[in-house]
Structure 1
């Protein structure tokens, strides 16, 4: 079970890790606190985050992002976010904004190839290295991230800003197995026709497409969880697919890999078409 930290507990954890200890210091560590959720917070430094295994879920005001071991999240300084860590520790690095400018203002998911992966690991163990070595390492890390940020942004599960649509999406995320456009409309206090119009205007997709994206996003998380372990069929049923073949086909279209391949550790960019 995931432990949800309160705002005060999150602040204490951040203080314990020493994240804000020096505005001019870049550093990293492996966050050993597994199966927990940090409440919404922000940092004065840019953050680079990547799970050692499993997935990390990062929420912002307008989207939910899934970060796999083959990826990393670049979180610019000042961006409010909540982070849910799964069954394995996560690599976390921090870059002083005054020394390492960010070319983007919102959270972005980066591909974490072999070079970035090795640099991430090195960054979490460089605490006792000479200052010049640490500076060179984090400068290289920063340049590597800058290059990765030139790639198109990876789609995320967008969150609505309006209260009515927000209630519908909150209901959906708690009832993935049984949610339908009609039930979402009821919780939004609107007709199905009005709901469809609002989904298209605010989120750019139909309710059916959004439900599918939410189910597949949750499936990615469940597939990578170790405790409790679920078979692919169990995951499919839990997120609302009664047909295993239909689930596998939809998952492959969304991620570029079958559920079995995804669980085995191959993580390409996600698709929305």
Structure 2
């Protein structure tokens, strides 16, 4: 990894490619791009671990190996095209070899990753997909970071591959790419608490509410309100992972009460904010 630049980053803003930011220095890292399997590696699974000291933007890159991303502490995001996944200690992300992706990791995040040899490991999906970091999978991955004999390592790697499967749900935000909706996307991702309604956006864009809704559905699979709730939830997860109080997070992402926030959060993630943070 190569540190390219550090700049002052005031305020608390958001970007669909960066996620929530707070006042701190921001680091940009540039990594090379490889085709799948283009580099011969002398391992089956190789782990890495780093505590990120500055808000870090990872420029678009790709690996010759498959990659599993997760966090020991904190929440980060990974972006492929218009799709942005949230990565946490309980929900990781599988990125197939050769897939170009970028990322955002807030300061204080304890980031984990594992590279998997394409010659010995078949990808669990043709495209990036969420992975449940179950207690068993986490223990096995931790074991690979210890000093193992050849036979024990081979057994542990085989067990990792046996339990490594796509998650039934994922923390994914698909951003529309049409010029019509660009102002909506930019505003909501910069300030999830923005109160502009569907009717107000339609009037501002000079189209009907039906046109806005149909465009959101066609490009994201979600209606306007569902998409806004998902964007707010993605932002909220990063704030919860930083230790912010649930009541404060509710206000920061545009809800008038913790109960309203909890209802919206549960619809997107399937669990309450408190239980999600506990996981």
C-alpha contact (below 8 Å) 2:91/2:133 kept by paired residues: yes
Deviations 1:160-208 (A, max 9, x none): 2334334431222012111433565577675433222211211122111
Structure-1 separation of matches of 2:153 and 2:179:
46
Give the aligned partner of residue 244 of structure 1. Answer: 258
Give the aligned partner of residue 19 of structure 2. Answer: none
Give the aligned partner of residue 234 of structure 2. Answer: 217
Deviation at 1:83, TM superposition (A): 2.3
Give the aligned partner of residue 118 of structure 1. Answer: 139
Structure-1 separation of matches of 2:153 and 2:203:
55
Counterparts of 1:76-91 in structure 2, within 5 Å, are 76-86=96-106, 87-91=108-112
Structure-1 separation of matches of 2:99 and 2:206:
31
Counterparts of 1:133-212 in structure 2, within 5 Å, are 133-145=152-164, 148-149=165-166, 152-154=168-170, 156-178=172-194, 179-182=196-199, 184-185=201-202, 190-212=207-229
| Structure 2: segments with no counterpart, 5+ residues | 1-21
Q: Report the count of equivalent residues.
A: 250
Deviation at 1:21, TM superposition (A): 7.3
Is 1:59 paired with 2:79?
yes
Counterparts of 1:84-99 in structure 2, within 5 Å, are 84-86=104-106, 87-99=108-120
Structure with higher strand content: 2
Structure-2 separation of matches of 1:237 and 1:155:
21
- What is the alpha-carbon root mean square deviation over aligned residues? 2.8
Deviation at 1:47, TM superposition (A): 0.7
Deviation at 1:88, TM superposition (A): 2.8
Counterparts in 2 of 1:258 and 1:100: CA distance versus 1, 3 Å: same
Counterparts in 2 of 1:252 and 1:95: CA distance versus 1, 3 Å: same
Is 1:104 paired with 2:125?
yes
Counterparts in 2 of 1:46 and 1:186: CA distance versus 1, 3 Å: farther
Report SS of the residue matched to 2:170.
coil
Structure-2 separation of matches of 1:10 and 1:27:
21
Report SS of the residue matched to 1:48.
strand
Is 1:41 paired with 2:61?
yes
Structure with higher helix content: 1
C-alpha contact (below 8 Å) 1:24/1:99 kept by paired residues: no
Counterparts in 2 of 1:190 and 1:43: CA distance versus 1, 3 Å: farther
Deviations 1:105-128 (A, max 9, x none): 1111111111101012123x24x5
Structure-2 separation of matches of 1:171 and 1:232:
23
Give the aligned partner of residue 246 of structure 2. Answer: 232
Question: What TM-score does the superposition give when structure 2 sets the normalisation length?
Answer: 0.78
